[in-house]
């Protein structure tokens, strides 16, 4: 029933106005799945390779589509993804492009779910998946590679850890985003928005800490449940390998690795941070391990550029005690199977998985289903903006049994 009869690929727009790959997968019994690849700006050095969409589409049409059509079953995700790997023939999807691979992989999953008449999260997670919903981490102030002339730290995140429901959590993050706007106005700090919809004022990190801390406390008082504070430092983007220092350009500060570890550890205590992503360079497992040793009992230290959703890199991190959490971005690794395997390995080793969007996104909602299917404790997918609310609203629908 789920035999694939056609795979169609096309270029569509992403949220930055750049082209990206969209895939349609059709099956023998009329099943249909459509999915699109997202795209990063602060990409990790070890991510699977995204090719220019025109090239990725041509290569996938030549190498992957003939091996899938009439040969593979959309309901058998591992088979589809193994064929994508075999058709590509490289370690990093540099032949067909991780963008073509992930679009086809996710579209096949949706086609499989369509034939089965099940929501995607149910198809992916099975009937015995847990009943939990991920806590959404909402980006409310940001800079780094996501906005010009804004904070050095890439993302200041609201983390509604005490929310009684996913709906409450989603609305709390939007309220923090709105509260930040009010506080910026009071301080006469005009702000546009960065790529992920977070406010991107021309302020230094110190001022951003004050504002987000206040906004989070105000909204927590209003809603009556705990809202934590988190960061994506995206430190690889500020690391200068020649001088071995972290360069905070807007603040005019430079820190060596030990100073960076001290700085982050102090921030964890000062702001009760519940989540810190990529606080150190993506090649420095040892520094990650030092920091995790110091503060890992009271906050999540999450590897994004460090692990790039790659089980080999995660194994190394687990061996060294480099973190206690992993970011999961399907397009970093190229298929849903690889993303699932990373989550499973993380869970077995006591790491929390954070399923994540990219800064360049589409209306695709697969990550909302992936997070629910795998019982991931967190999802990071912005706070506002159409391509972000597409995922947040889908979570609300899943919770309401309305997908
Ligand atoms: C979402 C992120 O940004 P990008 O997609 O630019 O890598 C991130 O760094 O976590
Ligand atoms: Mg990150």
Among 87, 117, 147, identify where a domain stops: 117
Report how far residue 337's alpha carbon sits from residue 329's, in angstroms, rounded to the nearest whole number: 12
Ligand 1 mutation target, pool 155, 198, 278, most atoms within 8 A of CB:
155
Both 85 and 195 in one domain: the answer is no
Total number of domains constituting the chain:
2
Atom of ligand 1 nearest to the CA of 357: 1
Asked if 18 and 39 count as a contact pair (C-beta separation under 8 A), the reply is: yes
Answer yes or no: is 46 within a domain.
yes
Distance from the alpha carbon of residue 131 to the mean position of ligand 2, in angstroms: 27
Same domain, 157 and 51: no
Is 91 in the same domain as 163? no
Has 329 been annotated as catalytic?
yes
Instruction: Give domain status of residue 236, yes or no.
Output: yes
For residue 142, the CA-to-ligand 1 centroid distance in Å is: 11
Residue 365 lies in a domain: yes
- Residues 139 and 112 occupy one common structural domain: no
Q: How far apart are the first and last CA of the chain?
A: 22
Q: Is residue 31 part of a domain?
A: yes
- Give residue ranges with CB within 6 A of ligand 1: 40-43, 145, 232, 234, 304, 356-359
Residue 176 sits in the same domain as residue 287: yes
207 with 97, same domain: the answer is no
Q: Does the annotation flag 131 for ligand binding?
A: no
Q: Are residues 166 and 305 in the same domain?
A: yes
Note whether 382 and 264 are same-domain residues: yes
List the chain pLDDT tens, one digit each, 403 residues. Answer: 899 999 999 999 999 999 999 999 999 999 999 999 999 999 999 999 999 999 999 999 999 999 999 999 999 999 999 999 999 999 999 999 999 999 999 999 999 999 999 999 999 999 898 889 999 999 999 999 999 999 999 999 999 999 999 999 999 999 999 999 999 999 999 999 999 999 999 999 999 999 999 999 999 999 999 999 999 999 999 999 999 999 999 889 999 999 999 999 999 999 999 999 999 999 999 999 999 999 999 999 999 999 999 999 999 999 999 999 999 999 999 999 999 999 999 999 999 999 999 999 999 999 999 999 999 999 999 999 999 999 999 999 999 988 8
Q: For residue 55, which of 93, 24, 90, 15 has the smallest C-alpha distance? A: 93
Phi then psi for residue 104, to 5 deg, are -70, -45
Q: List the catalytic residue out of 95, 110, 237, 329.
A: 329
Same domain, 146 and 280: yes
Question: End of a domain among 70, 90, 117?
Answer: 117
Collapsed DSSP state (helix, strand, coil) of residue 312: helix
Q: What is the ipTM of this complex?
A: 0.99
Is 125 a domain residue?
Answer: no
Last residue of a domain, one of 61, 87, 117: 117
Judged on CB neighbours under 10 Å (0-12, 13-18, 19+), 56 is buried
Do 13 and 145 fall within a single domain? no
232 is in an annotated binding site: yes
Residues 151 and 99 in one domain: no
pTM equals 0.98
Q: Which domain holds residue 21?
A: 4-117
Q: Is residue 181 part of a domain?
A: yes
CA distances from 299 to 107, 167, 231, 361 (A): 35, 24, 11, 28
129 lies in a domain?
no
């Amino acid at each position: 029933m789920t035999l694939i009869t056609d795979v169609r690929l096309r270029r569509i727009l992403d949220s930055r106005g750049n082209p990206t790959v969209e895939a349609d997968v059709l099956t023998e019994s009329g099943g249909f799945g459509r999915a699109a690849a997202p795209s990063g700006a602060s990409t990790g050095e070890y991510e699977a390779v995204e090719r220019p969409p025109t090239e990725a589409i041509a290569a996938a049409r030549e190498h992957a589509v003939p091996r899938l059509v009439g040969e593979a079953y959309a309901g058998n995700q591992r088979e589809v993804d193994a064929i994508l790997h075999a058709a590509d023939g490289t370690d990093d999807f540099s032949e067909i492009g991780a963008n073509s691979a992930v679009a086809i992989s996710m579209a096949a999953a949706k086609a499989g779910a369509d034939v089965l008449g099940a929501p995607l999260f149910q198809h992916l997670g099975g009937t015995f998946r847990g009943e939990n919903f991920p806590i959404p981490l909402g980006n409310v102030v940001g800079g780094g590679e996501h906005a010009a002339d804004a904070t050095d730290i890439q993302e200041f995140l609201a983390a509604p850890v005490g929310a009684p429901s996913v709906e409450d959590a989603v609305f709390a993050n939007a309220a923090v985003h709105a509260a930040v706007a009010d506080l910026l106005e009071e301080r006469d700090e005009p702000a546009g928005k960065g790529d992920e919809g977070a406010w991107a004022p021309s302020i230094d990190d110190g001022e951003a800490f004050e504002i987000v801390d206040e906004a989070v406390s105000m909204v927590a008082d209003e809603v009556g449940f705990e809202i934590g504070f988190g960061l994506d430092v995206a430190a690889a983007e500020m690391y200068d390998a020649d001088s071995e220092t972290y360069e905070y350009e807007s603040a005019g500060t430079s820190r060596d690795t030990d100073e960076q570890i001290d700085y982050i550890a102090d921030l964890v205590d000062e702001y009760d941070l519940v989540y810190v992503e990529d606080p150190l360079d993506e090649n420095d497992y040892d520094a990650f391990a030092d920091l995790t040793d110091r503060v890992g009992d009271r906050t999540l230290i999450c590897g994004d550029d460090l692990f790039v959703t790659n089980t080999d890199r995660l194994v190394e991190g687990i061996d060294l005690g480099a973190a206690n959490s992993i970011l999961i971005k399907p397009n970093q690794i190229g298929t849903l199977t690889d993303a699932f395997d990373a989550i499973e390995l993380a869970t077995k080793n006591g790491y929390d998985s954070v399923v994540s969007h990219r800064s360049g996104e589409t209306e695709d909602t697969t990550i909302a289903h992936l997070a629910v299917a795998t019982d991931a404790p967190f999802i990071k997918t912005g706070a506002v903006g159409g391509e972000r609310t597409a995922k947040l609203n889908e979570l609300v629908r899943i919770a309401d049994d309305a997908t």
